Amino acid sequence: MARVMGEAGDVAVDELVEKGRVHRRLYVDPLVFEKEMERIYYGGWVFVCHESEISEPGDYKTSYIGRQPVILSRHSNGQIYVLLNRCMHRGAQVCQEGKGNTRAFRCLYHGWAYDNKGDLLVVPFPEGYGEDFDTSKLGLRAAPCVESYRGFVFASLNPDVGALRECMGPAADVIDLIVDAAPGGEIEVGAGVQKYVYYGNWKLQIENWVDGYHPSFTHQSAFALMARKTGAKPSSQQGSVAKAVSIPNGHALLDFTGSPRAALPSGDGDAEYQAALESRYGRERAREVRESDVQILVFPNLFIQSNGQHFRVVRPISVDKTEVHAYPYALKGGSEEQNRRMASRLGWWASAAGFGQPDDLEAFERCQEGLRIESAEWLLFSRGLHREQRRADGSVVGDVTDEVTQRGIYEEWKARMTDGR
């Protein structure tokens, strides 16, 4: 049984999650946060980048695994390396730029330089270290496990993490559905990024991404504006065919396919797009891909949305501070007009001056403040508990407004934080 010493003393972590409710300490206790970094972010698979962001030899991007800075680098052999961004001499970060192309990373402190797979190339004035100084053991440390699925690159600092595809389970089928919307069979990231920070716990964002209960209330003004702009009439999803799905291993899905959620407006090139899909996948798969409307959480830090054509990455900074990056993506083989329309839609919703995401950030910060109250200890996630249904693949399904997804997230959280994984 895992225990942490926190704000109220020693506590068993598995006592913080019960069926249909979780304890407030999950959001406010710094010691719980430290254990999350160890068990979830450093012990499991974490999304780090999309292959198209570092498509050419020498391309790199800086990012984080939990709170540890990393460099995502493509070597001349085509392989992607995830390097810990820390000089092996005195500990300075060796790369500060967000992205670029280089043959070497040079530490500004004492000039030690490393190639783009982490090998140590240069130590200035090496004679000062003596004849037995072995540079072969002083390359940048690398994540021991790096795997990619449909262009999405994941890494783990745990050499015994297991296969990525096995961890994904049925979530991989959803990613296939999303990526297959590209007639070219791939998505491409290159239209920039929307970044936002909120002063709240990282789990507030992952809960929210697969919460179909809040939009009619939190985003009421945004939907009213969208209705005036497009003529679409937003409607409640309650009782519709839309579903909330908890997928094994903490992944979660909102599936709006066939529901009354307002569809994206069509545009020039739609007929050509449909023809290209049918040519690649056949009529039945093309229809399935075209009609799907899904958004998925790949636990713990990646969200992908087909209707809106973007993905987001969560970066925990502290127990009460979180950063999120949102990336529009293009469908390879899709029309330029369609891809441009989708990138614009993300800006309308999630930018600093957007009409949707700021509502959520306000809600997160109100939650973080409210959770400082110690006399009310539990948060409820029991909505739909009496009517959820379990599928043969281990997924649990409920109404789109039910808290099926949050219960699945915290079942996995509890397993990772204790000895259950």
For position 342, what pLDDT does the model report?
Answer: 77
Tell me which of 35-49, 66-80, 251-265 is least confident: 251-265
pLDDT of 264 higher than 50: no
Tell me which of 185-189, 264-268, 393-397 is least confident: 264-268
Counting beta carbons within 10 angstroms of the beta carbon of residue 387, is it exposed (0 to 12), middle (13 to 18) or buried (19 or more)?
exposed
For position 7, what pLDDT does the model report?
Answer: 46
Tokens 């990619």 sit on residue:
148
* 147: its two tokens: 């795997």
DSSP-derived letter for residue 16 is G
**pLDDT average, residue stretch 88-96:** 97
For position 239, what pLDDT does the model report?
Answer: 56
Q: 219's torsion region: left (phi>0), alpha (psi -120 to 50) or beta?
A: alpha
For position 190, what pLDDT does the model report?
Answer: 86
Q: 250's torsion region: left (phi>0), alpha (psi -120 to 50) or beta?
A: left
Closest to 272 (Cα-Cα) out of 357, 323, 334 = 334
**pLDDT average, residue stretch 325-354:** 80
Q: In this predicted model, which residue has the larger pLDDT, 266 or 392?
A: 392
Tokens 């009496």 sit on residue:
386
- pLDDT (tens digit per residue) in 176-228: 999 999 999 999 998 889 999 999 999 999 999 999 887 877 767 766 666 67
**pLDDT average, residue stretch 149-177:** 97
Q: 273's torsion region: left (phi>0), alpha (psi -120 to 50) or beta?
A: alpha
For position 6, what pLDDT does the model report?
Answer: 47
For position 215, what pLDDT does the model report?
Answer: 80
DSSP-derived letter for residue 40 is I
Give SS3 for 59: strand
For position 192, what pLDDT does the model report?
Answer: 86
- Portion of the chain with pLDDT greater than 90, in percent: 76
Q: What is the mean pLDDT of the chain?
A: 90
Question: Residue 9: how many CB atoms within 10 A of its CB?
Answer: 7
pLDDT of 4 higher than 80: no
- In angstroms, rounded to a whole number, what is the distance separating the alpha carbons of residues 127 and 293? 63
